[in-house]
């Protein structure tokens, strides 16, 4: 069993939720914080809980909607992982591989100790680091170009 998140981890997730809120207004995007299962595969059952997931209304509709009383079965376009001190490279690689498998297109890796955000582009066959942003930068989503966040605010 994984240890509980530390306060800085939860604070960053909270700040990201606040910063993403303006992009949710109007209903084009949905943002869900953990804990919320995304089904990776049904048999044997495998799920993941990214710290935040962002999914467009268009993708939800294209997959027949979301069952609001069940785990998510539609791959979000963007997942955000806030690294904990206990996170290992192996566990992070396994998470990213699972996200790739279901069709997640983008992953942000938030490192609280370095105060950086790395943006990864995912396809089913490749993973590419697109950019590494620090406090003086503005992180921009690949999949949702209008989503731009000041990194300084994420860590404030």
- Report how far apart, in Å, the C-alpha atoms of 75 and of each of 91, 104, 139 are: 20, 6, 22
Q: Sorting pLDDT into bands at 50, 70 and 90, what band is 88?
A: confident
What sections of the chain are H helices per DSSP? 7-24, 57-62, 89-102, 151-154
Q: Would you say residue 137 has pLDDT above 80?
A: yes
- The phi and psi torsions of 27 (rounded to 5 degrees) equal 85, 5
Q: Sorting pLDDT into bands at 50, 70 and 90, what band is 87?
A: confident
The reported pTM is 0.94
pLDDT average, residue stretch 53-74: 94
Q: Would you say residue 2 has pLDDT above 70?
A: no
Asked: is 7-154 a CATH 2.60.120.10 domain? The reply is no
Strands 38-41 and 46-48: antiparallel
Quote the pLDDT of residue 1. Answer: 58
Residue 55 burial by Cβ neighbours in a 10 Å radius (0-12, 13-18, 19+): buried
Q: Sorting pLDDT into bands at 50, 70 and 90, what band is 85?
A: confident
pLDDT average, residue stretch 15-30: 92
Quote the pLDDT of residue 5. Answer: 84
Q: Are 108 and 81 in contact (CB under 8 A)?
A: yes
104-126: pLDDT as tens digits:
999 999 999 999 999 999 998 88
Residues 127 and 94: their CA atoms lie apart, in Å, by 12
Q: Which tokens is 139 given?
A: 């992180």
Side-chain-side CA neighbours of residue 11 (13 Å): 10
- The phi and psi torsions of 15 (rounded to 5 degrees) equal -65, -40
Strands 78-83 and 106-111: parallel
Quote the pLDDT of residue 125. Answer: 85
Q: Would you say residue 42 has pLDDT above 70?
A: yes
| Higher pLDDT, residue 25 or 3 | 25
Q: Which residues pair with 83 in a beta bridge?
A: 111
């Amino acid at each position: 069993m994984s240890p509980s998140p530390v306060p800085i981890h939860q604070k960053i997730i909270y700040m990201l939720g606040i910063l993403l809120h303006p992009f949710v207004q109007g209903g084009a995007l949905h943002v869900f914080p953990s804990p919320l299962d995304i089904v990776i595969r049904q048999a044997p059952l495998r799920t993941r809980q990214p710290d935040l997931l962002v999914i467009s209304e268009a993708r939800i509709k294209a997959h027949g909607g979301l069952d609001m009383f069940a785990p998510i079965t539609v791959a979000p376009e963007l997942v955000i992982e806030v690294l904990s001190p206990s996170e290992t490279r192996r566990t992070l690689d396994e998470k990213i591989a699972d996200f790739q498998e279901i069709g997640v297109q983008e992953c942000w890796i938030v490192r609280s100790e370095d105060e950086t955000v790395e943006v990864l582009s995912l396809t089913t066959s490749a993973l590419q680091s697109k950019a590494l942003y620090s406090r003086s930068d503005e992180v921009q989503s690949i999949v949702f170009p209008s989503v731009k966040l000041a990194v300084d605010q994420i860590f404030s």
